[in-house]
Structure 1
């Protein structure tokens, strides 16, 4: 079990560039502070399900590691928009995973969009407070975005259509979006000329004109139809 003492020892590796410590339950903000202060070349950190960390630890990483390119904070349920605001100063950030972080919102995502212009991969599944406002900021500033997971967010047709204007967008996962209608989805798919893969709930398959789906497929887009029940509750660790 990696603990605070372990991270303090690791912080002696000043050239550390990759740190994979997901599902390490004993990690705390104090441990991340050691890393942030001593590892300025850190590029990739995985904190998946590290439930003991909060905005304080993430902020220290963001401030101390200006080379940061990728961070996984999925199911770190204590983090808020404060973490996203601090990460928005990491101009090289291209991969952000914040799945299952219910306290982040479009306010924080908008700061990421403005500050992290190289953002290419984004996972905001089960970030219930992220809505169309966040998508509008992404469409305006995140021109490098290639992949996004929006399942269980509060995005509607408006946000999805706005997002679809990003010409380089290739991969979308929108399995459970209660605010999406078949017409809105079809319009977004027709606008997104660069899509190569879309993951959708199987219920939409019978709601959209088959000939229009074939048009999208003919452009090189593969559909993956998922038949999963809609579960709003947060996944347990």
Structure 2
């Protein structure tokens, strides 16, 4: 970052400075003070020169603040090398002003910049003209990531997309992923900007953006035909259930058009109901991963629509959906051998009957979370173990009716079990654990917190499953 490059940066000052000032207004209004770049001391025989890394203030306008973070950029000079020229030799001006980092080739800078988050990449664009050109290289802008409580996030998105659209007017052809998790101040206006300017978008994460509504999400889905991954967990306004005339008009263009979304997370969308799930399933027929945790208004009827339209679902979570019962599991079982992952945790209406349906038809199930299903007994575990021998992870914590008898059947059939949670299972003793340890040698995690198991049983597990991490509440075992 030599002084020569600092001078050159003046020619691009308008582009870089305007973008930086727009973005930075969201967090800080402090300015940096210029510091000396080169300190020299000479005597009569030998001159010694100290090379220092330049402060951004040497290059930026005096009024340009930092981006996004709450503090301005102000770096004290850092000694990076000492040069002792030979007596009598004439040193060129370029030799005096060069900085070691300037010797790196462009591809090395790109490799470094590729690991920076969006806000720091924007800061790098303010250092000098060379860094400005490199920081805005399209190859670095496949992902836009602004997470946390970013002030004026709508404006930041508008400024970013405006700069990225310079080469291709009105569209950012390079952006494939936008992550805005936790941006509580994001509104529909910011999401409209993404929808209009990022037609090649493949992934959009909006977890916790509770000010986003149905209309904005619909705009993204309509304008981004390649969108495959959508996370709107915690977006309480996203319901897709309105039956008003206006909503019907907005949904009409989607009839006959299939949305390419494969991964959809709508956890904590409390207002989602069966009709909303019906609309989603009817148009997202390629879904393979669907997470509906704590969507407390869903019932068995919604799952019936899901199975009809989305037969390829591999992972499904309906945990904490209190109205899901054995009838809902009967519908889920129609997913057949496609289903690999199922979470029904804390669904209090589920019993052995529903688990028997899953065991009978979903023989390739690998993961089952049935924590808190108090109606589950040893009979359900027996059907599961015999029909799903490739089971790798099972959580039956807080199932008081599961005892050592169920564990023995599980251990004798599911040899590939790697994770087992028995937390707060009142009927489990050390005898059941010993059978598990003697047959499931690949066990990697065992949770027996709040279980009545002896110290000898824990030592037996540790001796036979050497790689197993045991989570327990026995103070004598360590």
TM-score normalized by structure 1? 0.86
> Aligned partners of 1:206 and 1:126: how far apart in 2?
20
Q: Report the aligned-residue RMSD.
A: 2.5
Task: Report matched runs for 1:165-184 at 5 Å.
Answer: 165=360, 166-184=362-380
> Given the alignment of the two structures, is residue 152 of structure 1 paired with residue 349 of structure 2, yes or no?
no
Post-superposition offset of 1:53: 1.7
**Alignment deviations for residues 112-168 of structure 1 (CA, whole Å, 9 cap, x no partner):** 112111100011001111111121122223431100110111221111011112121
Give the corresponding residue for 1:77.
270
> Given the alignment of the two structures, is residue 3 of structure 1 paired with residue 183 of structure 2, yes or no?
no
Task: Report matched runs for 1:36-51 at 5 Å.
Answer: 36-51=221-236
Whose radius of gyration is greater, 1 or 2?
Answer: 2
> Aligned partners of 1:117 and 1:52: how far apart in 2?
27
> Given the alignment of the two structures, is residue 100 of structure 1 paired with residue 294 of structure 2, yes or no?
yes
> Aligned partners of 1:200 and 1:91: how far apart in 2?
31
Post-superposition offset of 1:204: 5.2
Give the corresponding residue for 1:119.
313
Structure 1 unpaired stretches of 5+: 230-237
Post-superposition offset of 1:91: 2.0
Post-superposition offset of 1:106: 1.0
Give the corresponding residue for 2:214.
29
3-state SS in 2 of match to 1:183: helix
**Alignment deviations for residues 203-229 of structure 1 (CA, whole Å, 9 cap, x no partner):** 559713253232034254642223389
Structure 2 unpaired stretches of 5+: 1-184, 425-448, 451-478
Structure 1 residue ranges (4+ consecutive) displaced by more than 3 angstroms after TM superposition: 56-60, 62-65, 202-206, 219-222
Distance 1:156 1:203, change over 3 A: closer
> Aligned partners of 1:155 and 1:47: how far apart in 2?
27
How many residue pairs get matched?
Answer: 228
3-state SS in 2 of match to 1:186: helix
> 2:389, 2:415 within 8 Å by CA — same for their partners in 1?
no
TM-score normalized by structure 2? 0.45
> Aligned partners of 1:143 and 1:31: how far apart in 2?
36
Post-superposition offset of 1:189: 2.3
> 2:377, 2:402 within 8 Å by CA — same for their partners in 1?
no
> Aligned partners of 1:30 and 1:219: how far apart in 2?
46
3-state SS in 1 of match to 2:394: strand
> Aligned partners of 2:226 and 2:385: how far apart in 1?
40
Higher RCO (CA < 8 A, seq sep 6+): 1
Distance 1:38 1:204, change over 3 A: same
Post-superposition offset of 1:172: 0.3
> Aligned partners of 1:187 and 1:142: how far apart in 2?
16
3-state SS in 1 of match to 2:404: coil
> Aligned partners of 1:187 and 1:40: how far apart in 2?
43
